[in-house]
Structure 1
Amino acid sequence: MNHSVLQGFTKSLAMTVLSEIGDKTFFAAAILAMRYPRRLVLAGCLSALIVMTILSALLGWAAPNLIPRKLTHHITTLLFFAFGLWSLWDAFKDGEAEDLAEIEAELDANMKTNGTSKDKSKGDDDTKKKRQPFLTQFFSPILLKAFSITFFGEWGDKSQLATIGLAADENPFGVVLGGILGQALCTTAAVIGGKSLAKQISEKLIALSGGVLFIIFGIQSVLSAVES
């Protein structure tokens, strides 16, 4: 692993771990793992995060080819400082356990809706199978549910935007490797540890650490030369 790949890998790994621990998708994975088979939840959540990481890195890699390299470097630097301040703001504001309760309430409401619709269509199994979505004929509905909740929960999230910025400024292959490893570690911890682990995590400490890390990335970006 050469220097540029290693640098992209380490930055992406650190950023992903500190961004994803205590994130909404982390809580969602933990709660889903308490209600459904862990292997299906892990497969669904992790596959969504891997797809999102690759897509984000591709966007970041393409950006310097569409926009001048110097401009993308300055945008990335500003993003690092903005995300650092955002994370520090999250660390010092109130409402540490709100995400867990909010996501649990959303999942409960979703399950109740699905349960009601199942009761209404119990006597019509053949028709139900015919109307079944194409993907659910090949993949478990639980896996698809975990995938969709995680994928759309990550879309436009701070960690996705940070991955795009990082891939624009660092080796995209290293960013993908570090991001996938970080996502695998966080998602596995959420699924295995479950809700109890989510409750023990100090969101304030994680947000503070993430904020400091982003600001360090920003300072390093300011001091580094822009490749032509």
Structure 2
Amino acid sequence: MAPSLLGGFTKSLAMTVLSEIGDKTFFAAAILAMRHPRKLVLAGCLTALTVMTALSACLGWAAPNLISRKWTHHVTTLLFFGFGIWSLWEGFKEDGDSEELAEVEAELDAAFKSNKGESKNKSKANEDTKKQQRPFLMQFFSPIFIKAFSITFFGEWGDKSQIATIGLAADENPFGVVLGGIIAQALCTTAAVLGGKSLASQISEKMVELSSGVLFLLFGIMSLLSGPEGEL
């Protein structure tokens, strides 16, 4: 039986929301939105996450064509259990302080300080004038858009959520995985951009990690109980 679109969609939606809330890219979007126009930050982050989700799903979809579906199913099951245990471990050892937020903020502060000399001589009035003169579409190729895109894209590369998306797309309907992932990324990134640092600092990383761990273990059990063809 072929994997269902709804199954891939719901699993991807739930997994991505819990993986991305409190993630480095979530905090980066929140901090960038405090210092730059929100629409550019949101556009850059969402573009990067959409591209990453599509690439990951394509890799997962191609996997069964390179090796047997039976093996990709077993690997996916092991990934779910592995990420579940990893997330629970991270949750239990979390002391409650947002270390990841502090780390991302320190990295971005260093980047902002390095560019401070260049931007110091530009007044806000000049910036507003340039922004009005620049065509609307060209704003999305501005340094702010590129910065948001690159920070998000390379921050997600090799991340737990990316690897899990690849595994999920190998075992579920890839179109459902892409759709669920993009919607979840849009929700999380919009919340980060609109809520800003105040929202990010109030998130309990411990609860997010524990919830993610339980969800990954649940997916692992479901995958273990079902065969490579998805039948329970």
TM-score in terms of structure 2 length: 0.87
Stretches of structure 2 that go unaligned for 5 or more consecutive residues are 122-137
Q: Which residue pairs with 1:225 in the alignment?
A: 227
Q: Which residue pairs with 2:101 in the alignment?
A: 100
Q: Distance in 1 between matches of 2:108 and 2:4?
A: 41
CA displacement, residues 181-223 of structure 1 (integer Å, 9 cap, x when unaligned): 0000000000000000001111111111100000000000000
Give the match's secondary structure for 1:156: coil
Q: Which residue pairs with 1:115 in the alignment?
A: 116
Q: Is the 8 A contact 2:24 2:104 kept in 1?
A: yes
Stretches of structure 1 that go unaligned for 5 or more consecutive residues are 121-135
CA displacement, residues 24-53 of structure 1 (integer Å, 9 cap, x when unaligned): 000000000111000000000010000000
Match of 2:187 among 185, 188, 210: 185
Alignment partner of 1:140 is 2:132: no
CA displacement, residues 142-201 of structure 1 (integer Å, 9 cap, x when unaligned): 010000000000000000000000000000000000000000000000000000000111
Q: Distance in 2 between matches of 1:149 and 1:138?
A: 15
Q: What one-letter code is carried by the residue in structure 1 that aligns with 2:216?
A: F
Q: Which residue pairs with 1:210 in the alignment?
A: 212
Distance change (3 Å), C-alpha of 1:193 and 1:119: closer
Give the match's secondary structure for 2:15: helix
Alignment partner of 1:40 is 2:12: no
Q: Which residue pairs with 2:177 in the alignment?
A: 175
Q: Which residue pairs with 2:57 in the alignment?
A: 57
Instruction: Tell me how far 1:225 sits from its aligned partner.
Output: 1.4
Instruction: Tell me how far 1:138 sits from its aligned partner.
Output: 7.1
Q: Distance in 2 between matches of 1:212 and 1:53?
A: 22
Q: Distance in 2 between matches of 1:187 and 1:94?
A: 23
Give the match's secondary structure for 1:143: helix
Q: Report % sequence identity.
A: 76
CA displacement, residues 28-82 of structure 1 (integer Å, 9 cap, x when unaligned): 0000011100000000001000000000000000000001111110000000000
Q: What one-letter code is carried by the residue in structure 2 that aligns with 1:103?
A: V
TM-score in terms of structure 1 length: 0.89
Q: Which residue pairs with 1:155 in the alignment?
A: 157
Q: What one-letter code is carried by the residue in structure 1 that aligns with 2:109?
A: D
